[in-house]
Amino acid sequence: MKAGGQRKKEDIVDFDGEIRLGPLENFIGFNLRLAQDASFQTFAKHTGRPQLRSGRFAALMLIYQNPGLTQMDLSRAIARDKSTVTPLVQALQRDGLVTRHVSDKDRRSVTLRLTEAGEQVLDDLLDHAEEHDRKLDAIVGDRKAELIRLLKQIVKDLA
């Protein structure tokens, strides 16, 4: 058995309540995922919107910064495929935060804009995001620029 080495039947012990990660302990991807989940959950809890999905704030910010952005552009910018972006945009529209319009340039495309309510929600979330980022800054200290550079390098080299 390759996953953690060869085990003999007599070495196998029933689960004792302590999770052993094995090789996952030092996998960057696994630890990135845990850190991302912890960050998203803490952010959602702090905003008072525990149901807040991780991509919602990013989507609202990108739509605000780029009025008339298409769903396909949004999909690329947040590194999600169309099958996850479409329900996200539909939920934002259903909540009255985003409007969808047929593009003047390409009638097959839909462009996005924040509503006034969307801008208000974004302003509120931005305040929370800035406070949350200060907490992350305190954790990484003066290594923030290096961490962001490394994360961007991962995206660039793996995308």
Residue 98 has pLDDT above 90, yes or no: yes
DSSP 56-119: HHHHHHHHHHSTTEEHHHHHHHTT--HHHHHHHHHHHHHTTSEEEEE-SS-TT-EEEEE-HHHH
SS3 for 2-29 is CCCCCCCHHHCCCCCCCCCCHHHHHCHH
Averaged confidence pLDDT in the chain = 89
- Decide: 125 and 86 in contact? Cβ < 8 Å: no
How high is the pLDDT of residue 52? 76
How high is the pLDDT of residue 27? 97
| DSSP 8-state class, residue 1 | -
pLDDT band at 24 (very low <50, low <70, confident <90, very high): very high
d(CA 127, CA 132): 9
Comparing C-alpha atoms, which of 46, 112, 103 is closest to residue 77?
Answer: 112
Provide mean pLDDT across the span 123-128: 94
How high is the pLDDT of residue 17? 84
pLDDT in tens, 59-86: 999 999 999 999 999 999 998 888 899 9
d(CA 134, CA 141): 10
How high is the pLDDT of residue 109? 83
How high is the pLDDT of residue 55? 82
Higher-pLDDT residue of 54, 142: 142
